């Protein structure tokens, strides 16, 4: 991924494992309060799911101590959600490493 400032917003451009830019899969972030809120900017980030071509929609909230993300796959013909969380954002909390205390660092 590469990060590009755009005025008050930040664009994250995504790349595949071979370093090829993933057209249509940018995420645009905006600072709201003390968290960055982001989502993809187009409906052209294609993901094949169980043999069906879907487009990715995402919603991301990034704070200093937490990361929340919800990805969904939408059928372009019906507009119905085919995959992704049914219960809202997945939530990740910052953990403190105990490696230093265990003598591993």
Q: What is the pLDDT of residues 24-64, one digit of tens each?
A: 999 999 999 999 999 998 899 999 999 999 999 999 999 99
What gap in Å lies between CA 26 and CA 6, rounded to an integer? 13
Q: What is the pLDDT of residues 64-90, one digit of tens each?
A: 999 999 999 999 999 999 999 999 999
The second-level CATH assignment, the architecture, of 2-93 is Beta Barrel (2.40)
The residue count for the chain: 105
Does this model's pTM top 0.75? My answer is yes
pLDDT of residue 37: 98
Residue 103 confidence (pLDDT) above 70: no
CA torsion sign for 76, 77, 83, 87 is positive
Residue 102 confidence (pLDDT) above 90: no
Q: What is the DSSP string of 12-68?
A: EE-B-TTS-B-TT--EEEEEETTEEEEEES-S--EEEETTEEEEEEEEEEE-SSEEE
């Amino acid at each position: 991924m590469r990060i590009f400032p755009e005025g008050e917003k930040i664009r994250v451009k995504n790349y595949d494992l071979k370093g090829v830019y993933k057209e249509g899969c940018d995420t645009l972030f905006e600072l709201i309060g003390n968290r960055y809120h982001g989502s993809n900017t187009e409906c052209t980030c294609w993901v094949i799911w169980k043999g069906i071509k879907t487009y990715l929609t995402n919603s991301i909230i990034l704070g200093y101590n937490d990361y929340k993300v919800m990805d969904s796959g939408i059928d372009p013909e019906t507009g119905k959600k085919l995959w992704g969380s049914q219960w809202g954002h997945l939530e990740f909390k910052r953990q403190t490493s105990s490696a230093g205390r265990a003598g591993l660092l």
